[in-house]
Structure 1
Amino acid sequence: MNKKNFLGTVCAAVALAAVVSACGDGTTRSTGWEFSRNMYDPIAFNPDQPNKNFKNGITAQTPPTGTTPIGFTRFEFPNTTEGYEAAGAQITVNPLERTEQNLKDGHALYVTYCAVCHGPEGKGNGAITKDREVDDSRGKRTLENFPEPPSYGQSEGTPSSRGGKMSELTPGKIYHTITYGWNAMGPHASQITPEDRWKVVMYVQELQKK
């Protein structure tokens, strides 16, 4: 038997053995041999599984105090009036470099998350502050208007509800407000990454100059 025929015979035998071993005998529920079982039976515990390796028997342990999760950027200022004032006093310069690309990204993020309330030019005339109607299966009805937020513009000299002029808000105060929200504005920490928040701050500061 030449080498080619020999290899063909071996391959056919292996294939036949695999097929036969994978078939049941009609009386059991066996699925036959399993390949690489550890690929779908994880060795690690699932977070919600009991775990005897810990004293409290829980797999998902509370992280040690002071630790920072991977990929998480900690903001040291708390969601308080004191934290807001401290952020404003200590962060007076945007940590990101003012570049054309960062401003462009900040504008895109502002349009996505902020303009609906604050307006495209930051004047507080966003779409949801205007009269709106909807006509659907429940008929035509008027939607609730949200109050207009104060304008960022320097020329308008609008006061902030937390003191000072909107045009004079420091990067720290703007970032703090984006992170935690204020009044009718909800927090955006779960929607905008820390770096992108600084890009929004950069763009808002451009609106403050108008």
Structure 2
Amino acid sequence: MKSLFKIALLFGLAVSVTSCFNSKSPNYQFFPNMYESIGYETYAESEAFNGENQLKGQTAQEPAQGSVKRGFEVYDYENSTAGYELSKLNSKSPLDSISEKENVQAKELYGIYCAICHGDNGNGKGKLVEREKILGVPSYADRQITDGSVYHVLTYGLNSMGSYANQLSQHERWLVTDYVLQLKSKL
């Protein structure tokens, strides 16, 4: 009797589930975008932020007006000869004293970014100069340099030396500046 009841219950359940199925009108799709998504090409152009949408004020790909990158500190001197001279006269390092750990870090950063041209001792005899790939790298002993001038050149670059503002943070540039002045005092 129990088995007959179980069979009847299963048969009734099967009939009720399949009776709602209609091949001419399929059932509802929850989250249809997931089942029938639009395939976009990876680097294809999008109209999401162009033309009509831009007129409506949808400019999500641009930073907010007046925003400043996190951790960025404003450098007051412009990228010009006048800015270089002002920085040379007025700009001072914000680092009061450098610990031994920071001095080691400064030496490593100098070895990575500067020594290839300026040499390990700052004498202008780096690997690229020795191999005559570039010419005319000055020794630190021959130049009148200050905290501000070295930092300005690291930030903006000068002559054939490019800017290191993208590779080094402001704190790291001040560390390298201090290390350059240490090398100059030894020459």
TM-score using structure 2 length? 0.67
The answer for the alignment partner of 1:64 in structure 2 is 65
2:174 aligned with 1:186:
no
**Distance in 2 (alpha carbons) for counterparts of 1:192 and 1:83:** 20
Change in 2 beyond 3 A, CA 1:119/1:68: same
Q: Does the Cα contact within 8 Å between 1:68 and 1:74 map onto a contact in 2? A: no
The answer for the alignment partner of 2:177 in structure 1 is 201
Unaligned runs of 5+ in 1: 1-29, 38-47, 132-143, 159-165
Amino acid across the alignment from 2:49: P
Cα offset, 1:53, TM superposition:
9.0
Alignment of 1:105-116 (within 5 A): 105-116=105-116
2:137 to 124, 127, 149: 149
**Distance in 2 (alpha carbons) for counterparts of 1:187 and 1:79:** 11
SS at match of 1:209: helix
Cα offset, 1:70, TM superposition:
1.5
Corresponding pairs, count? 144
The answer for the alignment partner of 2:94 in structure 1 is 95
SS at match of 1:125: coil
- Kindly name which structure, 1 or 2, has the bigger radius of gyration based on alpha carbons: 2
Change in 2 beyond 3 A, CA 1:62/1:54: farther
Change in 2 beyond 3 A, CA 1:125/1:62: same
Following superposition, which runs of at least 4 residues in structure 1 exceed 3 angstroms of deviation?
A: 51-57
Cα offset, 1:148, TM superposition:
3.4
**Distance in 1 (alpha carbons) for counterparts of 2:62 and 2:155:** 27
Q: Deviations over 1:8-63 (max 9, x none)?
A: xxxxxxxxxxxxxxxxxxxxxx9x877xx9xxxxxxxxxx8439597443223453
Amino acid across the alignment from 2:173: R
Cα offset, 1:75, TM superposition:
1.2
Cα offset, 1:178, TM superposition:
0.5
Change in 2 beyond 3 A, CA 1:53/1:117: closer
Please provide the CA RMSD for this pair.
2.8
Amino acid across the alignment from 2:78: P
Amino acid across the alignment from 2:170: P
Percent identity, aligned pairs only, is 32
Amino acid across the alignment from 1:105: Q
TM-score using structure 1 length? 0.60
Amino acid across the alignment from 1:187: S
Change in 2 beyond 3 A, CA 1:126/1:53: closer
